[in-house]
Structure 1
Amino acid sequence: MDWLDGLFILISVAWIYEIWRYRNRSEPTDGASEHASFYIVSFIMVTVFAVSIGLSVWTDVRQTLPQRLLGLGCFAAGVSLRYWGIGQLRHQFTRHVVVRPADEIVSSGPYRYLRHPLYTGLLFITLGFSLYFTHWGIALFGTCSIGLALLWRIHIEEKMLTSHFGSAYRTWAKSRKRLIPFIY
């Protein structure tokens, strides 16, 4: 274990704390919610992480320093982006897709640029984790897999938000990209 592994563990603890600290708010008795996409995204992430670690242990190959640094940077950026976005959502944050009558459209922090910065964070986390432990092919496959699951979740979420907020959400959405600044 070297200093990069120590830093990776520290960032992992920060992400695990986010998962623990910002648990789901209570189930809505009003409004709309959807749960299946959460479990599918979680399953894909756990699978990608297990394959990445498994291949790393099984092949006993240590990644190059530049690849590990890139992976660590992506991982840290993803965790940071999630904390920033959750901080802007405050009490509206939930792990399931939930829209309540009192919810408001958030336009501060990363939401000035992206519609779904928390999902962008998950893409970076998946890419970074995979790069840190295994080779580019697994990282690309894992990131594409989680990306497809997130696109499905985004479709569900945007339908719910459009239904709830109407033209206000459509206007807000037109001024931001979904996942990748300036691109998509």
Structure 2
Amino acid sequence: MTRLMAEIIFLVGVFGWGAIRIPHEVKNKRKNRIHVSAVDRRERVLLLISLTGLGIVPITYCLTARFGLLRFADYGFSPAQAWAGAAVFAAALALFLATHRQLGRNWSQTLELREGHTLVTHGVYRLVRHPMYSAFFLWALAQLLLLQNWIVGPAGFVGFGLLYAFRIGREEAMMHEAFGADYAAYAARTRRIIPYLY
């Protein structure tokens, strides 16, 4: 494994992410109307921050290698660390695909509930309430391991971590309001993003 190969693996992972998400997003927007939305300026800013850390910064870094953008912050390359990053990205993609399939028409990119929204508690949702967030944190970990740069590596954790920190409370409140006692019981028996821990 070389630094260039690690960057290519990262870009392939991002492409795979899009291959999972974009068709799902197009289908949902066309067929499922929004019933409740909490999308506001704060939510849009958080999405932009997350996109910057998980997408704009690392993709720019990978695609501008020959210009040396942000290369001053590279540190000694570890092939073993990069291979671990590739494995983590594969796990992130598998979890991401599972969450999209299991959510089906209930999926939304942001704080929205669809008409006829149902509470999903099967599949990976048996283990955690927010496996999509788990998948994004796995992406951030893969980025840290693959892109061995003091700025680019942790940018995913910073960007997505901020979105998570400022959104999760609002999302849980929305679910409690929509599903009441059913969601309270579900929340009591599951963790947020790490099975049995958190």
| TM-score where L is the length of structure 2 | 0.77
Task: Figure out how many residues of one structure are paired with residues of the other and give that number.
Answer: 184
Contact 1:31 1:99 in 2 (8 A): yes
Correspondence list, 1:19-168, <5 A: 19-23=21-25, 25-26=28-29, 28=33, 30-34=35-39, 36=43, 37-50=46-59, 53=62, 57=68, 58-59=71-72, 63-135=77-149, 139-140=153-154, 142-168=156-182
Contact 2:85 2:142 in 1 (8 A): yes
User: Which amino acid in structure 1 is aligned with residue 179 of structure 2?
Assistant: F
Contact 1:88 1:108 in 2 (8 A): yes
2:32 is the alignment partner of 1:18: no
Query: How far is the alpha carbon of 1:145 from its aligned partner?
Result: 4.1
Counterparts in 2 of 1:114 and 1:43: CA distance versus 1, 3 Å: same
Distance 2:114 2:84 in 1: 39
Query: How far is the alpha carbon of 1:49 from its aligned partner?
Result: 1.9
What is the Cα-based RMSD across aligned positions, in Å? Answer: 3.0
> Unaligned 5+ residue runs, structure 1?
none
90-99 or 38-47, larger mean C-alpha shift: 38-47
Contact 2:33 2:115 in 1 (8 A): no
SS of the equivalent of 2:83 reads: helix
Distance 2:6 2:139 in 1: 16
Q: Percent identity?
A: 22
SS of the equivalent of 1:22 reads: helix
> Unaligned 5+ residue runs, structure 2?
none
